[in-house]
Each structure stands twice: as C-alpha cells, then as structure tokens.
A and B are shown apart, each in its own frame.
Chain A
C-alpha cells in the first residue's frame, strides 16, 4: 500500500538569493539560497528546496543589546567589525544579521556613520548579510539609501518593511539590488497585505522574505508558530502572495524572565535553550532563516537542522 506523507500541493515557495560573490559583482565568499520548497518543512527524503539557515544577530549599539548575548563576547562588542569577524570565525553562522540599532537613538542624524559601519562589516566577514535599518519615517529614507548604497552589489537582505513604512526600504532595495524583509505582526492576512503592497511598489516577489514576527518561547511563540504554518500551508495551496521564504527571530528570547532570572550556573544553558526551543520549531513551521543572539545557540541549531534535513544521525547537542 505504500504509506507515506500525503501531498496534494500545487504551490511552490519562491527562491531568494542572499549574498553576491565576485562573479556576481559582490565580495561574499558564497551566496545562499532559501525557499524552493514544494512540501511541508523537512517533508520528503530528501526534502524539497533549500535547508534552513541560522543567522547570528548583532548590533552596532551594544547598549541596546541583551546582556545575555554581549556578556559572552566581551569587549569586542564595542567594535562592530571585530564582533562580526569574531563571530564568523568562532561560531560559523550561515549568515550575519546586523542591526543598526544606533539609528533608533533619539534624533539620530549621523547617516554617514551608517555607511562606514556597513562597509567595515562587509570587510570583516565574507558571509552573506542581513542588515536592519531604522524605524522612524523621518530618517528611514536617508538610512536605507545609505545602507543600500554602501552594500551595493552585495545582494543583502534589507530590513524591515512594515505596513506603516515600506516605501523607502523597497526603494533602496530596488535601487541597489537588494532584497527586503517584510514584517507584519503575527497575522497571515497582514503578512499577505504587506506582500501585495510591496509588489505594487514594483518590488519583485523573489526579493521578499516574510517575517511574521516571532514571540519568544512562552510569550506568544505559539501564535507565530501557527502563523508560519498557515503561511506555508497557503503558499503550498497556491497563494502566490504568500509564497516567499520566511525569516524568524524570537528577538525577546534573551530578555524573558526565565532567562534573566536563571541561576548563575544555569544562565547560559537557559539562554541557549530558550533560543533553540523556539527557533528549531520555527524551522519546522516553515522558517527558512532562523536567528539567534547567543553564540552558543548556533552550532546545536545547525546540527539539529541538518539532522532533520538529511536524516543523518549526529551526536551531541
């Protein structure tokens, strides 16, 4: 009778490429492709599409970063490029996601510094990059222009477009050949709406990654989990406005009560567990990129993803 998974899907998740090598006019050592799935996550042996990736998140303003993450890195956090280089070397994430948190400071205006930071980070690593800009309509346009320009040719993934402000991100991405993270607050309809809005600005669908917003484990994670499942399900059912790969980051993982109040010796494992127990399920729900802030979360997460992906047993997590 041949019992196996049932798939009556008609849709396919689009592919999104991040990073450009010298051949494509960039300076990355390699590019990565996400998406391309034709079935539920990890289903099929081997599964369709591309393996989910792990991004390491860091910030140009360590003051605004969770202590649980910076503590581990030490003084390097004050030099963004050094932080990036160190993380690349020591923890080998698939991607680096840089938050230009300094733009969130009050009355921020030092646009040129943004350009310098981006350039120094491009120097410090050859990994494909995700870069997060500002969140203030007054400066968005200038900031995204600057990031776009500084990373021209590198095919970065640029964040974040939201329903309230998406035009400047989209414009910068289109002008300099980047892709866009489209973030909506835990709702399949809102995710779809934003994709339609972006499409109507002229941004091509293969330049969009959906970020359905991810609550931390125990703090609404289940809503995000289900929204991701629904998005993937609808996409496979043929809804092309949702057929983009997803990126998930439970950005609050390291500041939730459980992690903040863990006993001294347990602090580090709890931080890692809180990230892994949200991000691995996120890949199972359909995320193509999952993000962590604790460097020790990277390796076990990559191992687990690999095991779910190609079925090879690999010990020690």
Chain B
C-alpha cells in the first residue's frame, strides 16, 4: 500500500492504491474543506503534490488553477488518485478552520453528571455455601460499591449471556457499565479487569454539510478527541430541500445510511486522534437540524416541508446506537435532540441549552446566523422562536468580492474618517482576495460612519474622492487597490452589494423585532444577546449594533457561543440532568411563522435602513453617528 506523507506536519498514512488524496487526508485525521462533498465542483479541497505518482485530469479541472499553480502541483484532492508513495502539502485554506467551541454554557457552570457509570468490582466466587447466581452477585456488587439498588437495574439478555464467561475468565475481577435510560438503570456491559478509566461518550453535531464529533471522558469531562467530516449526503443534494426531495423519491434509506457513515467516519477520526477504542464510547448525543435528525432515525421528513410544517416527533429520542448503525460500544445509547418545527431543530435547542437562557429568569435573545437564521427570545418561563432566510450576503455570497472566511479574506476593516483611507486585516495576513462576512459588516458600519453611504446604503457620489467612483452599473467604493491585492484587481464594494447586505441584516433584525413585539418586550428588557454559529464568532459586536443587525443593548451583554449545536450536545452528554431541560425547552417554545405574521413585512421595511427607521431604537448608535457627521463636515 502506498504511503502518503502530509506536509508540513509529516503525518503519514497508508491507503490502497487508487484511493483519493482526500480519503488519505481524512484517514490521517485532517479536517479537509469539502464544500461540494468531493464532487470536484468547489475547488476548496486543493492540495499541492510535492512528489509521487498521481492521476489527476488537468484538462477537466483546468479552470481551478493557473498554469503557475498547476506547475506547482496544485490539484483537487477529491479528484486525485494515488498511484504510489506521495508527499502532499495541505494549504491551510483547504483545512476546515478549527472553530472556537464553547463547551460550557456561559450562564450555567458545567457539572459532570453523565448517564453512564462504570463499577470495577472484585466479586467473591460462588461456593457451595454461597450459591447466589452470577447476576445477583454482580448486582449486589454494584450496589455495595455505591451504585443503584440491585433490584432497580435491568440486565438485557445480550449482557447476561456474557456474564458467566467474563466473571470466570477474569478471576472475578470485572468492570460493569450501567447506564440510566428512560426506563431506568440498565446494565450495558461487563468486561474483564478494571476498565473504569476507559469511559467515554461522543457528542455529535450532524450538520447539513459537516459532521463534528467530540469524544469526552465521562469521568472528568475532558475532551479526549475530536473529528469532523463532511456530510456524505451531499452527493444526494447540496441543500436541505434537495435532500428531502431525494428522500421523497425513495432515497430515505440511502440518506440514512450516508448520515450514519458520515458520523462513523468522524467518530473514527476522533477516536484515532484520541487513541481510544470505540467500544469504550458508551453514549452518543446528537444535535442536528430537524431534517437531519429525522433522516438519521429513518423517519420520512417529507411532510415537514409542507404546510403546516410539523415534525413527526417533538421530544427527544433514545435508542441503542447500534440500532441505527453507529459503531460504538455494543449496548451504548443514542440520544437525539428534539425538534420543534421544520426550522427549529435539535441544533437550535442545543444552542439554547448552551446559552443557558432556558435556565435563567432574565430575558435573552439568541440568534443563529447562517444562510438561514433562527431567532429565539425568552427565559425559563416562556420562549418564542422564528426562522427565516437571510440570504447569503452575510457569508460573503452574492457580493461581488465576497468570500468565505478563508485565508486572504478581509476580516476587519476600519476607515479613517478624515482621509477615508481603509485599513484592514486579512485572515492569515495574506494579501487580500476578497471580503468575508465579518469584514463586510465592518465595512458597512464604517461606510455609514464616514457618511460615504446614506442610511439606505446609497453611495454619495457627490463626495470627490478617488475611492468613490461609478462602477460598471452602480457606484462603488474601493477597499483595496489592485497593487495591494492577491487577485490583480481592485477589491470594491458596490452599491448592490451594500443593498444585499442591508436586506440580509434587515431580515434578522425584523425577526428579532417581531418576536419582541409578539412578547411585548422592549430592547431595555433584554439582558443578553447570544450569537451562535460560526458567523457570530468573528463579527465585531459594536458594528453589528451600528448597522442594526441586532437590537441595541450594551455591547458587553452580547456573547458569542460558537457552534452551539456541538456545545449543547457536549453539555447534554456530560450532564444527564440537562436532558430534562432539553425536553422542557422543546415543549416551551412557541414557534412564530414570520410569513404569517402581518407585522413582519412592516418590520422588514423598517429594518432596511441603517440602523433602523425608528432611530429611537438605537440611541447609542445615533449619538455616535451624530458625532461622526460633525467630524466629516469639518474635514
């Protein structure tokens, strides 16, 4: 088998001839960027082959590389087959950027209270005087070492079958594993010797494009390994709707299998990186959007995307992990976060759990932003939620020089109010290639502060300045001159880009306002705002308020929780008591259908303004803008 050596880390792996470099990289534990799912469409999985025999169709994928790049050995890892030993350099841009993941909920201290216990027991062998059966002996042993009462533990037949052999072969020194499941205590494993230190659980975020797995020690809560993988369902359709349609056409079983395969692959990567045996994973907790979790359970999601959009189940589900095909410990349990509606899925419930808002008396607003967004308002007593489409602008889509948060993306910008000269920072300090979401938000705020755009986003072309000019169709502002960039072109933001951004931000603010109106809550009553999702991690919170992406509250009360789905799954894994909280959240949430809400459209047009048509909602921003205006008038 050929050996592939990955640079710069020199990590090695062996794969059969004919495998793709992508497969090899994943086997070696790299989290590759595979936006199109390995179809050779996105170009995000590029690697540089330094030496060795490969098979790659340069003709077919010629568009992705310049001649110079081709001569340096660039190729699509998903489309390149391995013919012999290779040395491959993985550019940073081709790796999924590690996200900051909060595994504690900011509001609630983390408790380690898992639903699985291991008891190392030394039992006295039976004698003619002591003829109690093996199982009783075992159960007594558990009770004596502080475990649940003998009578309260159920032992399934599969485990009982193992007992006599394990007891005797181990010389009566064994470890029993007991789990708390909805029916009560259940013995899920007996092993020889003392294995109490090998007790793990897995938290899984089953996303539409990516699967993330965390393996945690159930003893001290520590993270022992992580792994991620693209969701292999991508081959059946890129977005969620096409997956549902695929399921409708009889593809449910395949989708289910692919979901399981993706989780298993990520589990493998995580357990490999942790150096543990997957059989020692005793519980798997999965948070995912409604469609994903329904598919994972093999439940037809078709009816959820039709009116009135009801999910099949609105409570958490538990079953044996192996029953759905997950390769972990034999009798390990699987816990799946509940879904509330088509859009408010287990991932959002996990966000809520991670934020701690459901356990607080204070009112919080939680916003999860991606191409779709979800907003939740409430506290421990009540909760409203809604969802909508924000459009891709905030992620850099549909913006002329927009890009994802990859190296070379301008992620921070500020403008000198007097000279209007931008200063910016790019990801990995490379020459700029474009603007990512956080850079766009900065830019929008700065353009507003410097009065280059008016509150509807129109560029004031009356300002005589070299950076303000008429573009091909609409006016534009030059952020970086071509000499400074890595793309040989001026990087500009056009008036159309700005409009697209304003529309995106407006739908989110309008959703927040609609929930607040429904509840009759003013912005002063909001104690915290939580941002979840990768997007929220990098954005400048002040600027998010300046442009009216979120309601104005003191900026120190805005918190980001990163990938809330994985955070929530981790919390539930480590603390079984949270499962009750999860169920309560799911039952408490009242879902508001924005399209059916007559005030939403009104709020939306009101929000298509920087920061909002009702200036009194943003008193701090207004004060700041007034000062900027005075400054600008002076210069």
Contacts and interface: CB of A to CB of B under 8 A. Distances in A.
A/B touching: CB–CB < 8 A: yes
Interface of A: 163-164, 167, 187-190, 192-193, 196-197, 200, 241
A163 B613 CA distance: 13
A284 to B, nearest CB: 23
A195 to B, nearest CB: 10
B613 A167 contact: no
B455 A189 contact: no
A164 B462 CA distance: 14
B66 to A, nearest CB: 40
Range for the number of chain B residues in contact with chain A: 10 to 19
Interface of B: 454-456, 458, 460, 462, 602, 605-606, 608-609, 613, 615, 629
A247 to B, nearest CB: 21
Contacts of B454: 197, 200
B605 A197 contact: no
A197 B602 contact: no
Given A189-B605, A189-B608, A196-B613, 12 more contacts: A163-B456, A163-B458, A164-B458, A187-B605, A189-B602, A189-B609, A189-B613, A190-B605, A196-B609, A197-B456, A200-B454, A200-B629
Contacts of A164: 458
A167 B462 contact: yes
Nearest to A197: B454
15 contacts: A163-B456, A167-B460, A187-B605, A188-B602, A189-B602, A189-B606, A189-B608, A189-B613, A190-B605, A192-B613, A193-B455, A196-B609, A196-B615, A200-B455, A241-B615
Contacts of A163: 456, 458
A200 B462 CA distance: 14
B285 to A, nearest CB: 44
A196 B613 CA distance: 8
Contact of B455 (A167, A187, A197): A197
B239 to A, nearest CB: 32
A136 to B, nearest CB: 15
Contacts of A192: 613
Main secondary structure of the interface of A (DSSP, over half): helix
B221 to A, nearest CB: 50
Contacts of A200: 454-455, 629
Contacts of A187: 605
List 8 tightest A-B contacts by C-beta distance, closest first.
Answer: A189-B605, A189-B606, A189-B613, A193-B609, A192-B613, A193-B613, A197-B454, A163-B456
Contacts of B605: 187, 189-190
Nearest to B460: A167
Nearest to A188: B602
A188 B606 CA distance: 9
B514 to A, nearest CB: 14
Contacts of B608: 189
Query: Which of A163, A190, A193 gathers the greatest number of chain B CB atoms within 10 Å?
Result: A193
Contacts of B456: 163, 193, 197
Contact of A196 (B455, B460, B602): B455
B22 to A, nearest CB: 49
B597 to A, nearest CB: 16
A196 B615 CA distance: 10
Contacts of B462: 167
A208 B373 CA distance: 39
A117 to B, nearest CB: 27
Nearest to A196: B455
A187 B462 CA distance: 28
A192 B602 CA distance: 13
A147 to B, nearest CB: 19
Contacts of A190: 605
A193 B462 CA distance: 20
A277 to B, nearest CB: 27
A192 to B, nearest CB: 5
Nearest to B451: A200
A241 B617 CA distance: 14
A241 B608 CA distance: 17
A240 to B, nearest CB: 10
Contacts of B455: 193, 196-197, 200
A187 to B, nearest CB: 6
A200 B608 CA distance: 17
